[in-house]
Structure 1
């Protein structure tokens, strides 16, 4: 049996954008903004789009060749707890303002990120 895994960072980010815009009830307060439709993944991560809640930025999404990285700037502790409980790799980023990084390394893990998105959607 062949296992197909989606590990293309750009495609993972596209799936994430679809989840944000496709869950109208759960994520009605969230929107995808500043999307770069021509973004090409880089080793350091290229900016793909931002997520806003009612006009305020809550996360930035970056694409790498083999994953997507979501940098949350709102409710970082609650986001980290929600993402870790789903099995996602999480780490803090010591910048000003601080951020919580969540790594989405497979297309299936996009669904695992939904609890973290619910945290920022309900703030």
Structure 2
């Protein structure tokens, strides 16, 4: 049996958005997606697909690149951006775990 690998950055970003908005327990329940651009397409410099909000505060963005969706957080300010590249749909779970760890010190 052959399994399809989801490697389209737009679809990966959609899967991540679904995962983030579906979380209902723990501190990640305070995460939401904002300002989604349904027409966003991958580009070499990255195209913003949507923002990530935690407890009403914008904490980052998801961008589309040719080979990956990228979750960028600015946890302490714009000079401290951290990135997590998601190259397949299966990588979405790892991105959620990474986000959970990144927000572990915050309480909504």
Tell me the TM-score normalized by structure 2.
0.85
Which residue is equivalent to 1:31? 32
1:41-79 CA-partner distances (Å, limit 9, x unpaired): 11221000111111111121001232101111116xxxx
CA separation in 2, counterparts of 1:74 and 1:63? 20
Is 1:16–2:13 an aligned residue pair?
no
The Cα shift of 1:8 comes to 0.4
Matches within 5 A, 1:1-123: 1-26=1-26, 27-74=28-75, 96-122=78-104, 123=106
Aligned length: 104
CA separation in 2, counterparts of 1:103 and 1:73? 15
Q: Once superposed, what is the RMSD of the aligned Cα atoms?
A: 1.9
Tell me the TM-score normalized by structure 1.
0.75
1:69-113 CA-partner distances (Å, limit 9, x unpaired): 1111116xxxxxxxxxxxxxxxxxxx9422111110111000111
Structure 1 residues without counterparts, runs of 5 or longer: 76-94
The Cα shift of 1:119 comes to 2.9
Q: Secondary structure at the match of 2:79?
A: coil
CA separation in 2, counterparts of 1:62 and 1:99? 13
Q: Secondary structure at the match of 2:43?
A: coil
CA separation in 1, counterparts of 2:78 and 2:90? 31
Structure 1 stretches of 4+ with a deviation exceeding 4 A read none
